[in-house]
Structure 1
Amino acid sequence: MALTTTAVVDTALDLLREAGLPGMSMRTLATRLGVQPSALYWHVPSKQALLTAVAERILAAMGPVDPGASAADDLRAVGAALRAAVTGVPDGAEIVALGLAAGATNPVADAVEGACARHGLGERAPGLTTALTAYVVGLSLEEQTHHNLTVADPATPPVEFDARFEQGLAALLAGVPA
């Protein structure tokens, strides 16, 4: 396989799916790609840049969200798509939080802006983007951390994250027309 930025990001994502963030080092990535670690830096300037690219790939998995009957339906669908994308990769919430802090493109912004425009709430799009992204990534981080704790200690009390997600999303969207 030719060493390209796409190959580096694809392989990093594969490593994350196999071993989570603790198992994804630049050295491990280079070994998997059959190159010296220094070769990676021709394609990504730092591990931070690599994780930002991986975050964008995770976020891209959201895909388009079909318009709903109401603004609240649209925003629920955006939240559900974001949660599925973020929790679909071990430690995905941590990586996405890191990537967003570093300037990764956030497709939630376009999805929320579109929903708000369709329902006459355009001025609320920036705040709803921030609130929805922070809520979903934050709860997903808690969910993935809880999962990691239960692997380490099976006696960890269970938590029903699907119900918590729905309840929190309902509270967050309480002021949005249904």
Structure 2
Amino acid sequence: MTPARTGRHDRAHIIGVALELLDRYGLPDLTMRRLATELDVQASALYWHFDSKQDLLAAVSDRILARIPDLSPGTELPGAARAVRDALLAHRDGAEVVMSSAALRPGPSRAQDALRLALPAGLADADLAAAAVLQFILGHTSLVQQRMHGESHGAASTTGSLGAADDSAVFEAGIALLSRGVALTPR
């Protein structure tokens, strides 16, 4: 939900409107010009709040990942992975936005932090393991969202082996394999 506008547009309000436009039109049509039109300002006014479109998308990415709940101690990797996936699926092209920001702004994110917390204590390469799991989730969720977009335009088929009906099973199998690999990793 977009925060209520109070006078001038602030960063939080602009991010909220950008997220609404993302949900309505998708990432390819989320332009600074469209956002400015929606806000009834000149596109140049947006650059008071964001250095670039990528800076705006990084803020949108952070808002998407803010949907990941604070996980309780003892949450296992599959539960944390599902929480990350659910946050990405809550918004059209959410995985692509987060993936783009992760590629251009490497380093830990709320998603990676949640996954790291779900890994066994004392794991030697917890950062590496969390990054690998996050990349699987981003890739899988991006594929699912691409398929959903194709289906909405009549371009994708869900028939056959490993189609959309099997997306959940593929996700669970991937996370189970990654979890077993983590369990076998020396501490």
| TM-score of the two chains, using structure 1 as the length reference | 0.88
Structure 1 residues 32, 111: CA separation in 2 closer, same or farther (over 3 Å shift)? same
The alignment-based identity, stated in percent, is 35
Write the distance in 2 (CA, Å) between the matches of 1:138 and 1:84.
14
Match of 1:146 in 2: 147
Contact kept? 2:151, 2:157, Cα under 8 Å: yes
Write the distance in 2 (CA, Å) between the matches of 1:150 and 1:6.
32
CA shift digits 1:89-121 (9 cap, x unpaired): 0001110001111227511332233334xx433
1:164, distance to aligned residue in structure 2 (A) = 0.9
Match of 2:122 in 1: 121
In the TM superposition, 1:87-126 aligns within 5 A as: 87-103=89-105, 106-116=109-119, 119-126=120-127
Contact kept? 1:113, 1:122, Cα under 8 Å: no
1:154, distance to aligned residue in structure 2 (A) = 5.7
In the TM superposition, 1:9-88 aligns within 5 A as: 9-68=15-74, 74-88=76-90
Higher relative contact order (CA 8 A, sep 6+): 1
What secondary structure sits across from 2:76 in the alignment?
helix
Write the distance in 2 (CA, Å) between the matches of 1:141 and 1:99.
14
Write the distance in 2 (CA, Å) between the matches of 1:134 and 1:145.
16
CA shift digits 1:55-98 (9 cap, x unpaired): 11111111211233xxxx52111111110001110001110001
Cα RMSD (Å): 1.9
Write the distance in 1 (CA, Å) between the matches of 2:55 and 2:156.
37
1:155, distance to aligned residue in structure 2 (A) = 5.8
What secondary structure sits across from 1:65 in the alignment?
coil
Contact kept? 1:66, 1:74, Cα under 8 Å: no
Task: Give 5+ residue unaligned stretches, structure 1.
Answer: none
Structure 1 residues 90, 162: CA separation in 2 closer, same or farther (over 3 Å shift)? same
Runs of 4+ aligned structure 1 residues displaced above 4 Å come to none
